[in-house]
Structure 1
């Protein structure tokens, strides 16, 4: 039996930036707050409530803003989202080796699942609303041996779970930063993952 490999979602498996920017800008107009969709989309990863605090949204309004963003998400974000190069092939490579695939994301779980379903991604389990070292909870629970992500927080989560940390530079963090956080290997995109995975775990059965 193969191993379980975990993947981050935004900017690791999928590119949701156009929809995320549009949703945040729409929320800003609706709420009368100075929310910057483009800045948000360029730095995907941290939890939505932390992002809203960064935009100086009043603390008492944050729960309602989060709920509203999540409500508009299926119609605004999901339809415009695409799979990143190599995503489908990377998931397929894990399954071809008899393994399981796991998405662990800071995104709201039901909306993360909508992306997986809409794009037909071969994911066995989706766990949402975990960020940085919190991701270790799900990685340990599913005995994930590898975790792949685009953000420094993803690398921290992998290491906290004792998993091999694999970075991709498709998100906001460059190779130098991901390596400095402890990534064992960093790829320009997931197109490089299947070959690495096959060579690294060829003897795992």
Structure 2
């Protein structure tokens, strides 16, 4: 990991199950898209895949159908059945504000399509300085590295991998399908109980290390 003092304060966040809870809507849209192809899918089996790229998800249940066809059906339904009902997780707005209050930049990098990420953030009143979609694991890490991120906050082992790929602090929250134990095992530097704990952690972390400049 590069010295923290050598970096500007740039913090990246995952979206789903880190800043917002859209799990029920995502699961419903996946089940719906599969049903159009005649597949019956148990929602309980879909939930652990929340946050994965859709082209990795759909072949689990409908391997014979081009994922692009399923993704198109998913995205059409997502706009009307998920975004209006997505819940901002407690403390998410405050987490973003904590970075901005210190003069930092906020990145939101998600496996979700970029325009959908922007729509969710706008609906939730969460301003980001850069939004990048269609990224997962190392691909997120490449963007974090390019932007000089100091830390990346996420709920998935792929988010931990992204942070480590970029040499950033891997800050994990077990508010999605992945447990705290799994996040620690993946190499997280810190596991917070939820995004609401981030502002206090941020100030403590900057107190332990020289502030990025």
Q: Same fold (TM over 0.5)?
A: yes
1:65-90: CA deviation from partner (whole Å, max 9, x where unpaired)? 11221122110110110111111111
CA deviation after TM superposition for structure 1 residue 100, in Å: 0.7
> Does residue 7 in structure 1 map to residue 13 in structure 2?
yes
Within a 5 Å distance, the mapping from 1:112-191 to structure 2 comes to: 112-191=117-196
TM-score by length of 1: 0.93
Cα pair 2:12 2:108 within 8 Å, conserved = yes
- CA change 1:108–1:38 in 2 (3 A) is farther
> Does residue 105 in structure 1 map to residue 73 in structure 2?
no
SS across alignment from 2:107: strand
1:94-149: CA deviation from partner (whole Å, max 9, x where unpaired)? 00111010011111111111101111112111111111111111101211110001
Instruction: Give the structure 1 partner of residue 4 of structure 2.
Output: none
Cα pair 1:17 1:42 within 8 Å, conserved = no
CA deviation after TM superposition for structure 1 residue 170, in Å: 0.3
TM-score by length of 2: 0.90
CA deviation after TM superposition for structure 1 residue 10, in Å: 0.7
Instruction: Give the structure 1 partner of residue 78 of structure 2.
Output: 73
CA distance in 1, matches of 2:141, 2:30: 28
CA distance in 2, matches of 1:41, 1:70: 17
CA deviation after TM superposition for structure 1 residue 34, in Å: 2.6
Cα pair 2:170 2:188 within 8 Å, conserved = yes
CA distance in 2, matches of 1:39, 1:15: 18
Unaligned runs of at least 5 residues, structure 1: none
CA distance in 2, matches of 1:88, 1:55: 36
Instruction: Give the structure 2 partner of residue 32 of structure 1.
Output: 38
RMSD, aligned CA: 1.6
SS across alignment from 2:134: coil
> Does residue 41 in structure 1 map to residue 47 in structure 2?
yes
Aligned positions, number: 204
Instruction: Give the structure 2 partner of residue 82 of structure 1.
Output: 87
Instruction: Give the structure 2 partner of residue 51 of structure 1.
Output: 57
CA deviation after TM superposition for structure 1 residue 179, in Å: 1.1
CA deviation after TM superposition for structure 1 residue 2, in Å: 5.3
Instruction: Give the structure 2 partner of residue 95 of structure 1.
Output: 100
- CA change 1:2–1:137 in 2 (3 A) is closer
Unaligned runs of at least 5 residues, structure 2: 1-6
